[in-house]
């Protein structure tokens, strides 16, 4: 694997401010070591709910994961972002799917357990939905969660999404088949770019 220069807490060239000390930023292949460290530190918190820790095991797999997203961003069919608090990587978000032809996309999220309870994901998702709807003309933004994932479902509800139902046994995480609760918001329901918490 080619050596990538990594300065974990280097200030970003481009960042969207979420709170006084938190930002939503690019997450790129050169930051693979930092992502691998984050996943290792938060595995127990993330593994029951999202695939991240099932595919990122070390720097090499983190780089592969981030390169795949970089290639998807170039094709405009997926994107990944970092959430930083005081410069430290504390979470992330993805457009897991970004299907311009169908004008639909899906958001996925994660936080370190220590960064929960501050509204960072809700704020980040609002910025992403604003961009998807207002800048890119998306007409539907989806959210999928395990029905047992109350924290995730609370975010969907807080974003003003509508619960559409449960896809039975529709997803596989590790060696477990699981139900998927489908939530969404449509462009016409997402009125203001400056929605308050």
Ligand X SMILES: CC(C)(COP(=O)(O)OP(=O)(O)OC[C@H]1O[C@@H](n2cnc3c(N)ncnc32)[C@H](O)[C@@H]1OP(=O)(O)O)[C@@H](O)C(=O)NCCC(=O)NCCS
The residues with which 110 forms a beta bridge, in sequence order, are 92
Contact 83, 120 (CB under 8 A): yes
- Name the one range near ligand X by CB under 6 A: 2-10, 70-78, 110-118, 163-171: 110-118
49 binds ligand X (CB under 6 A): yes
Q: Which of 5, 20, 44, 117 binds ligand X (CB under 6 A)?
A: 117
Q: Which is nearer to ligand X, 31 or 152 (CB)?
A: 152
C-alpha 81 chain-centroid distance: 7
The sheet with strand 104-111 has its strands ordered as 15-17, 22-26, 79-85, 88-99, 104-111, 140-145, 176-186, 162-173
x/- map, 149-168, ligand X, by CB under 6 A = x-xx-xx--x----------
d(CA 68, CA 89): 20
Q: How far is the CB of 93 from ligand X (least distance, A)?
A: 9
Instruction: Point out which residues bind ligand X (CB under 6 A).
Output: 45-46, 49-50, 109-111, 116-122, 145, 149, 151-152, 154-155, 158, 197
């Amino acid at each position: 694997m080619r050596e990538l220069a990594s300065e974990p807490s280097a200030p970003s060239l481009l960042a969207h401010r979420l709170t006084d000390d938190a930002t939503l930023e690019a997450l790129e292949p050169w930051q693979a070591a930092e992502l691998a460290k984050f996943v290792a530190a938060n595995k127990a918190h993330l593994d029951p709910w999202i695939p991240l820790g099932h595919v990122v095991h070390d720097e090499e797999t983190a780089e592969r994961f981030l390169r795949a997203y970089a290639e998807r961003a170039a094709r405009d069919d997926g994107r990944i972002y970092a959430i930083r608090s005081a410069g430290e990587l504390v979470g992330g978000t993805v457009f897991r799917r970004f299907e311009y032809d169908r004008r639909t996309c899906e958001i996925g999220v994660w936080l370190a357990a220590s960064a929960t309870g501050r509204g960072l994901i809700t704020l980040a998702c609002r910025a992403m939905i604003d961009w998807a709807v207002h800048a890119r003309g998306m007409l539907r933004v989806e959210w999928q969660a395990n029905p047992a994932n109350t924290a995730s479902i609370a975010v969907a509800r807080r974003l003003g999404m509508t619960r559409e139902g449960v896809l039975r046994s529709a997803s596989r995480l590790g060696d477990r088949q699981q139900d998927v609760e489908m939530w969404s918001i449509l462009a016409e329901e997402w009125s203001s770019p400056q929605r308050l918490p």
